Protein backbone atom coordinates (compact mmCIF):
# COMPACT_ATOMS: atom_id res chain seq x y z
CA UNK A 1 0.00 0.00 0.00
CA UNK A 2 1.16 3.49 -0.79
CA UNK A 3 1.79 5.99 1.98
CA UNK A 4 1.91 9.75 1.93
CA UNK A 5 5.71 9.58 2.16
CA UNK A 6 6.31 7.41 -0.92
CA UNK A 7 8.94 8.91 -3.21
CA UNK A 8 8.02 10.09 -6.67
CA UNK A 9 8.54 7.28 -9.18
CA UNK A 10 10.82 9.01 -11.63
CA UNK A 11 12.39 12.15 -13.05
CA UNK A 12 10.09 12.03 -16.09
CA UNK A 13 7.07 12.81 -13.89
CA UNK A 14 8.86 15.68 -12.15
CA UNK A 15 10.15 17.16 -15.40
CA UNK A 16 6.73 17.03 -17.10
CA UNK A 17 5.02 18.65 -14.14
CA UNK A 18 7.61 21.42 -13.94
CA UNK A 19 7.50 21.95 -17.71
CA UNK A 20 3.75 22.56 -17.48
CA UNK A 21 3.78 24.47 -14.17
CA UNK A 22 1.86 21.70 -12.46
CA UNK A 23 2.38 21.46 -8.71
CA UNK A 24 3.72 18.12 -7.52
CA UNK A 25 1.23 17.37 -4.77
CA UNK A 26 1.11 14.20 -2.66
CA UNK A 27 -2.19 13.27 -4.32
CA UNK A 28 -0.84 13.70 -7.86
CA UNK A 29 2.24 11.75 -6.89
CA UNK A 30 0.10 8.93 -5.47
CA UNK A 31 -2.02 8.83 -8.64
CA UNK A 32 1.07 8.73 -10.84
CA UNK A 33 2.77 6.09 -8.69
CA UNK A 34 -0.30 3.86 -8.73
CA UNK A 35 -0.69 4.21 -12.49
CA UNK A 36 2.98 3.62 -13.22
CA UNK A 37 2.97 0.40 -11.17
CA UNK A 38 -0.05 -0.93 -13.04
CA UNK A 39 0.39 -3.32 -15.93
CA UNK A 40 -3.28 -3.60 -16.93
CA UNK A 41 -4.22 -0.18 -18.36
CA UNK A 42 -6.39 0.82 -15.38
CA UNK A 43 -9.46 3.04 -15.39
CA UNK A 44 -9.73 6.13 -13.19
CA UNK A 45 -11.95 4.11 -10.85
CA UNK A 46 -9.30 1.42 -10.33
CA UNK A 47 -6.68 4.08 -9.57
CA UNK A 48 -9.18 5.82 -7.26
CA UNK A 49 -9.81 2.59 -5.29
CA UNK A 50 -6.09 2.37 -4.46
CA UNK A 51 -5.34 6.06 -3.95
CA UNK A 52 -8.25 6.60 -1.56
CA UNK A 53 -6.59 4.22 0.93
CA UNK A 54 -3.87 6.71 1.88
CA UNK A 55 -6.03 9.72 0.88
CA UNK A 56 -9.58 8.94 2.08
CA UNK A 57 -10.85 12.42 1.19
CA UNK A 58 -9.80 12.26 -2.47
CA UNK A 59 -12.67 12.06 -4.95
CA UNK A 60 -13.08 10.00 -8.11
CA UNK A 61 -13.52 13.29 -9.98
CA UNK A 62 -10.12 14.50 -8.74
CA UNK A 63 -8.45 11.27 -9.85
CA UNK A 64 -10.16 11.41 -13.25
CA UNK A 65 -9.28 15.09 -13.83
CA UNK A 66 -5.69 14.43 -12.74
CA UNK A 67 -5.35 11.52 -15.17
CA UNK A 68 -6.79 13.65 -17.99
CA UNK A 69 -4.33 16.43 -17.11
CA UNK A 70 -1.51 13.86 -17.15
CA UNK A 71 -2.70 12.84 -20.62
CA UNK A 72 -2.80 16.44 -21.86
CA UNK A 73 0.79 17.09 -20.78
CA UNK A 74 2.15 13.79 -22.11
CA UNK A 75 2.69 11.79 -18.94
CA UNK A 76 0.21 9.04 -19.88
CA UNK A 77 -1.89 8.04 -22.86
CA UNK A 78 -5.60 7.42 -22.95
CA UNK A 79 -6.20 3.95 -24.32
CA UNK A 80 -9.01 3.06 -26.70
CA UNK A 81 -12.21 2.98 -24.70
CA UNK A 82 -14.36 0.49 -26.63
CA UNK A 83 -17.46 1.99 -25.03
CA UNK A 84 -16.15 1.38 -21.53
CA UNK A 85 -14.61 3.86 -19.10
CA UNK A 86 -11.34 5.40 -20.28
CA UNK A 87 -8.26 3.37 -19.56
CA UNK A 88 -4.82 4.87 -19.05
CA UNK A 89 -1.39 3.72 -20.20
CA UNK A 90 1.80 4.99 -18.56
CA UNK A 91 4.05 3.24 -21.12
CA UNK A 92 5.31 6.00 -23.42
CA UNK A 93 7.40 3.61 -25.55
CA UNK A 94 6.00 2.98 -29.01
CA UNK A 95 3.63 0.04 -28.80
CA UNK A 96 0.26 -1.24 -29.93
CA UNK A 97 -2.63 -3.07 -28.28
CA UNK A 98 -4.67 -6.23 -28.39
CA UNK A 99 -8.13 -5.72 -26.87
CA UNK A 100 -10.08 -8.78 -25.70
CA UNK A 101 -13.77 -8.32 -26.47
CA UNK A 102 -14.74 -10.82 -23.75
CA UNK A 103 -12.79 -9.85 -20.65
CA UNK A 104 -11.82 -6.29 -21.65
CA UNK A 105 -8.13 -6.99 -21.12
CA UNK A 106 -5.63 -4.89 -23.03
CA UNK A 107 -2.26 -6.40 -23.90
CA UNK A 108 0.73 -4.37 -25.10
CA UNK A 109 2.29 -5.43 -28.41
CA UNK A 110 5.78 -4.24 -29.34
CA UNK A 111 6.47 -4.62 -33.05
CA UNK A 112 8.74 -2.47 -35.22
CA UNK A 113 6.79 -3.32 -38.39
CA UNK A 114 3.66 -1.77 -36.91
CA UNK A 115 5.69 1.22 -35.72
CA UNK A 116 6.82 1.82 -39.30
CA UNK A 117 3.45 1.55 -41.05
CA UNK A 118 3.27 4.02 -43.90
CA UNK A 119 0.42 6.50 -43.75
CA UNK A 120 -1.61 6.51 -46.94
CA UNK A 121 -1.35 9.62 -49.12
CA UNK A 122 -5.03 10.48 -48.73
CA UNK A 123 -4.56 10.81 -44.97
CA UNK A 124 -1.28 12.73 -45.30
CA UNK A 125 -2.96 15.26 -47.60
CA UNK A 126 -5.86 15.93 -45.22
CA UNK A 127 -4.34 15.52 -41.76
CA UNK A 128 -1.21 15.96 -39.70
CA UNK A 129 -0.51 12.55 -38.18
CA UNK A 130 1.12 12.84 -34.76
CA UNK A 131 1.17 9.18 -33.85
CA UNK A 132 -0.01 5.78 -35.01
CA UNK A 133 -1.30 2.86 -33.00
CA UNK A 134 -2.49 -0.51 -34.24
CA UNK A 135 -5.32 -2.06 -32.21
CA UNK A 136 -6.33 -5.67 -32.61
CA UNK A 137 -9.75 -6.73 -31.35
CA UNK A 138 -10.37 -10.37 -30.57
CA UNK A 139 -10.44 -13.00 -27.87
CA UNK A 140 -7.39 -13.47 -25.65
CA UNK A 141 -5.88 -16.87 -24.92
CA UNK A 142 -7.34 -16.86 -21.40
CA UNK A 143 -10.88 -16.41 -22.74
CA UNK A 144 -10.56 -18.81 -25.68
CA UNK A 145 -10.59 -21.82 -23.33
CA UNK A 146 -13.62 -20.63 -21.36
CA atoms within 13 A on the CB side of 142: 9
Is position 143 annotated in a ligand binding site?
yes
**17 assigned ligand-binding residue:** no
> Would the annotation count 9 as a binding residue?
no
Report the chain's terminal Cα–Cα distance, integer Å: 33
Residues in binding site:
100, 103, 140, 143
Instruction: Extract the annotated binding site for Zn(2+).
Output: 100, 103, 140, 143
Amino acid sequence: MQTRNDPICDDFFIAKCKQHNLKITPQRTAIYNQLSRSKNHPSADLIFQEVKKPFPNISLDTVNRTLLTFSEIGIVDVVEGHGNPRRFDPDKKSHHHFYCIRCGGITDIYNKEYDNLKTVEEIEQKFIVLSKRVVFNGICDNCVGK
